[in-house]
Structure 1
Amino acid sequence: MRLTRKLCAGIRDVTVRNWNIQWQRHGKFNDQPVKVPPALVQKGVEIVDAKELLKRKAVPWSPPVADDLRWAEAVPPEERADWKTEPAYSFSHEVQLYEGMKQACLIAKAQHFEGLPPAVQELVGAVPTPDRDLLLQRLIMLSQCWNTDETRLPKRKAPPHKILWKFKRAYGITATKSSEILLRSLLRLCQSHVGDLPSLAARRQTYQPLLHSHVMYRDKAIVQRESLDCVVSSDSWLPPFAGEDALDESVAHRIPDMWPVLPTVDFTDIHNYELDSLPGFSRERQFGCPHTILQIGRSSEWSVGQCQASQLLTCLLYTAALARHKFGDNVRILPEPISIQHVSMQPTGFLLTFFQLNTLDLDNSEAGVKNLVWTADKCQLFEKILGQPWMPQPLKRDRLVHFDGAAFEPFLAAYLNGCPELASSAS
Structure 2
Amino acid sequence: MIDKVQNVDIYLDPYATLPTLSYLFDFFKHKEDKERIRLFGLKRFSIPDDIKNLYSEGKIRFVKIMNLDQTEFNNEFNKLFLEGSILNFTFHLNLSHSWKLFTPLLEIMNSNPKQIGSVKVHLYDDGSEGAINLYKIRKSDVDIDAKISEMKSITNIHQLNKLDNPIKIYLWDIFYDAKYHFLETKELSEEKFIPLIKAMPNYDKINLDAFNELSKEDRNLYLKVVDVSSELIQTIDKLKDNDIFLFTGTTIFDNRIDIQEKAKKIHITAINNYINPQGKFFIGEGFKLVIKGHPNSNYINNGLRQHFSESIHLPENVPYEILYLLGLRPNKIGGFASTSYFSQKRESIADIIFLTDLNTDFNSNIDTEFDLFKSQKNLMETMINLNIVDRKNTHSYMELFNS
Larger radius of gyration: 1
TM-score normalised by length of structure 1: 0.22
Which structure is higher in RCO with an 8 Å CA cutoff and minimum separation 6?
Answer: 1
TM-score by length of 2: 0.23
Greater helix fraction, Structure 1 or Structure 2: 2
